[in-house]
Amino acid sequence: MSHKQGVQKGRIFNNPILEAISRTSPAITLGGYLPPIILLLYVYFNSYSATLGILNGIMMFLGGLLFWTLFEYIMHRYVFHWISESPAIKRFHYIMHGYHHDHPRDEERLFMPPLVGWLIIGVLYLSQIFILKGYTYAFLPGMLIGYLCYVFVHYSTHKYKAPRLLKYLWKHHSLHHYKYPDKAFGVSSPIWDIVFGTMPPRRDRKEGDMRGL
């Protein structure tokens, strides 16, 4: 999927209600995700830390944070860039990610709407509670903090000039948008691009084309 130099904002849905709720902001994102994070951590430390351990909870939280980076990479590479001739899948792809490549500066669509986010949190919770049991209340908040780091890094790469210490991430994401849509899938970290061999060529990483971000 190549990037198009589109206008800043476009339209995804003809339905005005769907169009409205598909747009969001940093404040709405924080307001939507921080309460579940706080609630999950409260349950862990109030109901499970005595039996499962505080240190174990901290380690599971950090494990969730690290696991998010892999989850982010897999979703971006295999779901957001899913290529198919099916009209339904093409439409799904455009809603989830294709629109962003056409309108990378539409800042109201750089965050997942909370309603969709809560649904995904519910699915993650139900899948983890059978495997991790009480540790879910530490592991899942780690994943969600990882998600917030990801979306705010992503938001910043499209809205602000790169700070010196994070310039590498800005370059990495720019190369994905403008030169290598089949590489540089990591946004919050390039670690899995390194592991799975999807890093852009070294010469391009040094030059770091950052047009249009």
Residue 177 maps to a domain: no
Residue 96 maps to a domain: yes
Sequence-ordered alpha helix ranges (H) in the chain: 16-21, 26-43, 49-52, 54-74, 87-93, 99-102, 114-132, 136-159, 167-178, 191-196, 202-207
| Whether pLDDT at 208 is above 80 | no
Distances (CA, A) of 193 to 66, 80, 177, 178: 14, 16, 15, 17
Neighbours of 8 (CB within 10 A): 10
Residue 93 is encoded by which pair of tokens? Answer: 């792809």
Spatial distance between the Cα atoms of 188 and 170, rounded to a whole number of angstroms: 10
Q: Which residue has the higher pLDDT, 6 or 93?
A: 93
Residue 186 maps to a domain: no
The total number of structural domains that make up the chain: 1
Q: Which domain holds residue 68?
A: 16-161
pTM: 0.88
Express each pLDDT in 175-195 by its tens digit.
888 888 899 999 999 999 999
Residue 140 maps to a domain: yes
Residue 3 is encoded by which pair of tokens? Answer: 């990037």
pLDDT band (50, 70, 90) for residue 205: low
Spatial distance between the Cα atoms of 89 and 211, rounded to a whole number of angstroms: 29
Residue 85 maps to a domain: yes
Residue 172 maps to a domain: no
Residue 121 maps to a domain: yes
Residue 173 maps to a domain: no
Express each pLDDT in 103-158 by its tens digit.
888 888 888 888 889 999 999 999 999 999 999 999 999 999 999 999 999 998 88
Q: Which residue has the tokens 């750089």?
A: 110
